[in-house]
Structure 1
Amino acid sequence: MSERLQPGDPAPDFTLPDADGNEVSLADHRGRKVIVYFYPAALTPGCTKQACDFTDNLELLAGAGYDVIGISPDKPEKLAKFREKEQLRVTLLADPDKKVLDAYGAFGEKKLYGKTTVGVIRSTVIVDEEGKVERALYNVKATGHVAKIIKDLGI
């Protein structure tokens, strides 16, 4: 199990394919703050709620200087279906080999209905303009999470 990130840590750089197969890197966003959120699976109820919440608040977040990137182990084709079905406007990236999920501490043991399983830990990492971790939130809830981030960031 990977280490969880702490504020002040350098955010691990990554380059992953988006829903259209185009490469997107964290470095592409240098100079802006980035909300990187990790979710278990596209087209599932909780992940859909979270992605829709980010999409609904995208203009507010962008206006405050934040880009939003969602990362899951899904393949780009599934992300494209997810984006089309839910009319998502956030950048969705595919990490099927879970290297980035692991680097961010968003993959490992978690409790699900009282059982310990291994999988994606719903997490959000906020990266500052210089590529350092500003906040690292683990085991977040899908519902209400975006509103809490907006409140906590004072947007």
Structure 2
Amino acid sequence: MAEPRARPLQPGEPAPDFMLASANRDVPISLASLSGRPFLIGLFRGLHCPFCRRQLRQFSAVEPALRAVGVETLAVVNTPVERARLYFRYQPTPVTLLSDPECRTHRDFGVPHGVFLSPESDEPPQWPYRARLADFEAARINPTGELPQAVQPMQANDLLNAKDGFEPDETDSRIYAEHGTQLVGHFLIDAAGIVQWSETEARFGPEEIGIFPTTREIMLAAGKVAG
């Protein structure tokens, strides 16, 4: 297994090779199959994450504008492909939806996956890679403004899932247990396979969890590679 990158990929660096099963296309999608075409790729947590589901809806809304300027839109979810297919049967999207239940693509792009230090550890925290659980639990978020007040990140996750009527199944719960501290990344890749823009979630602290690029920011970035 490849070691995770020490940092997210930056503009000017080549995108890593990947091949992933698609939940809404007939064939797997790879970096090679996208050669010669610029694309935006969002690397998300699993469908258990209400913030990611909301960003996927935003991706669906912006996809026609991106397509109009020659940019394809891809979303990678940390959910097995069968589960993703079931969900998107009822929530269809024009975005090319890819499945990576082990977060290998997230790791190859360098999107951080945090770990919590043990209470006895003398190791200093280094967000977003190492954090004290107490610091994480002290954070308060309400990134979509849907909650009456800002709450602890995991509580926000549960409240929004309840609001959506989303009931995690056994698969969702397993993914959440294994990859719950995976952060989200957005990368714009040009026709030559080079990163031209990148944004990662919560760069400065857990208070920024669930804050993703806006449609305006995405479209401004797309201007860098628009045909």
Which bin holds the TM-score, normalised by the shorter protein?
A: 0.7 to 0.9
Tell me the alpha carbon deviations over residues 70-108 of structure 1, each in whole angstroms, 9 at most, x when there is no partner: 112210012112322222111111112222110001241
User: What is the distance in 2 between the residues matched to 1:43 and 1:15?
Assistant: 23
- Count of residues in Structure 1 that have an aligned counterpart in Structure 2: 155
Candidates 157, 166, 190, aligned match of 1:128: 190
Q: Which residue identity is paired with 2:37?
A: R
Letter in 2 for 1:122: V
2:61 corresponds to 1:30: no
Q: How far is the alpha carbon of 1:118 from its aligned partner?
A: 6.4
- Structure 1 residue 152, shift from structure 2 partner: 4.0
* Higher relative strand content: 1
Q: In structure 2, the residue corresponding to 1:103 is in which secondary structure?
A: helix
Cα gap change, 1:147/1:42 in structure 2, threshold over 3 Å: closer, same or farther?
farther
Q: Is the 8 A contact 1:98 1:107 kept in 2?
A: no
When structure 1 is superposed on structure 2, of 56-65 and 76-85 the one drifting more is 76-85
Q: Assess, with a 3 A threshold, how the Cα gap between structure 1 residues 65 and 74 changes in structure 2: closer, same or farther.
A: same
Q: Secondary structure at the match of 2:40?
A: strand
Flag the structure with larger Rg: 2
CA contact (8 A) 2:40 2:73 kept: yes
Q: Distance in 2 between matches of 1:71 and 1:129?
A: 19
Q: CA deviation at 1:29?
A: 1.3
CA distance in 1, matches of 2:111, 2:32: 20
Q: Structure with the greater relative contact order (CA < 8 A, sep ≥ 6): 1 or 2?
A: 1
Q: What's the TM-score, normalizing by structure 1?
A: 0.85
The code of the aligned residue for 2:190 comes to D
1:22-75 Cα distance to aligned partner (Å, 9 max, x none): 311122111111101011122542112111111112111001111111112210
Residues 32 and 128 of structure 1 are in contact (CA less than 8 Å); yes or no, is this contact kept in structure 2?
yes
**Percent of residue pairs bearing the same amino acid type:** 23
Alpha-carbon distance between aligned partners in 2 of 1:27 and 1:126, rounded to the nearest angstrom: 16
Amino acid at match of 1:135: W
Structure 2 gaps, min length 5: 115-127, 138-178, 203-209
CA distance in 2, matches of 1:144, 1:10: 21
Deviation at 1:120, TM superposition (A): 2.1
The answer to whether the 8 A contact 1:47-1:142 is kept is: no
1:144 to partner: Cα distance: 5.6
Q: Is it true that 1:15 corresponds to 2:77 in the alignment? A: no
Q: 1:108 aligns with which of 85, 109, 113?
A: 113
Shift of 1:9: 0.5
Q: Structure 1: which amino acid aligns with 2:136?
A: K
Cα RMSD of the aligned pairs, angstroms, is 2.6
